Amino acid sequence: MGVTALLAIRALGDHAFGQTRAELLAFTLGLLVTFLLVRVNTRLIRARVSWWFHDITPGGTHIHHMVFGVIIMVVTGIITFALAPMGLTLQVLAFVFGAGAALTLDEFALILHLEDVYWLEEGRISVDAVVVVAAAGALSLLTGPPLIGADIGKSSIWSLTIVALVNLTFAVISIVKGKLWTGFVGIWVPVLALFGAVRLARPDSPWARARYVKRPQKMARAQAREDHRRGRAGRFRDWFYDLIAGKPSLPPFGPGASKSRDGDD
């Protein structure tokens, strides 16, 4: 069944995106499939389902699944560099590498905070990380490499460099203004990066803290826009993240319960 799925990936990639992008499709699918499976696993562990697996704690050491993710990425990277495979073999390695990336990024918040925040609100940044990488794969499949997209090879290197640098500047400004998704997608869609760069910053962004402190009217406008943005769109984001990743709240620890976060194996 697994071989059939990988053959289907290859056929789809070669037909829809060309042979050179089939590996990128395999990586993106490996990332998404593994992330969803991992979240199902951790939610079942968190619910203490009796017939499901439990945390891996040999000798009392809680082994997080990002450890397996790092190992998978290192091994597949070494194999790829050493053997320089092509075709289906390379696509299989790309799929496995995507699986390793999902295992690692699913605990990105733990790496960032250096503490177990998997089921806390801070842990939501792990979901953001997976969504960003999956979106990067999807956008690269649809539009080509970032910054220059499908225009690569059709213009001089200098013109491409100038366009890329200008667009990257707009994207960075958007990100500093707190418009993370606008800046990120703007790397592939230049007009969007410009749009984010010229609009008001979000009130909790580095840009607002540095430039709006002495401009209370502008800060008030930014806050009003933020309150409006957090309405329906914010509720939809929370609902969607709760659906795929579970709610960021912890059940109280019972007597004798471990201090490790249940469902974070």
What's the pTM value of the predicted model, to 2 decimals?
0.69
Q: What is the three-class DSSP state of 121?
A: helix
| pLDDT score at 77 | 94
Dig out the tokens for 171 from the structure: 């994207």
Taking alpha carbons only, the member of 197, 218, 196 closest to residue 208 is 218
User: What's phi and psi for 181, nearest 5 deg?
Assistant: -70, -35
Largest CA distance in the chain: 68
Direct distance between the N- and C-terminal alpha carbons of the chain, in angstroms, rounded to an integer: 27
Q: What are the mean pLDDT values of the chain's consecutive 10-residue runs (265 residues total)?
A: 57 59 89 92 76 64 83 95 88 94 90 79 82 86 64 62 83 86 81 86 82 83 77 74 75 42 52
Q: What is the three-class DSSP state of 183?
A: helix
Domain ranges of the chain: 1-143
| pLDDT score at 81 | 93
Give the integer Cα–Cα distance in Å for 261 and 47.
12
Which distant-in-sequence residues (6+ apart) come within 8 Å of 240 by Cβ? none
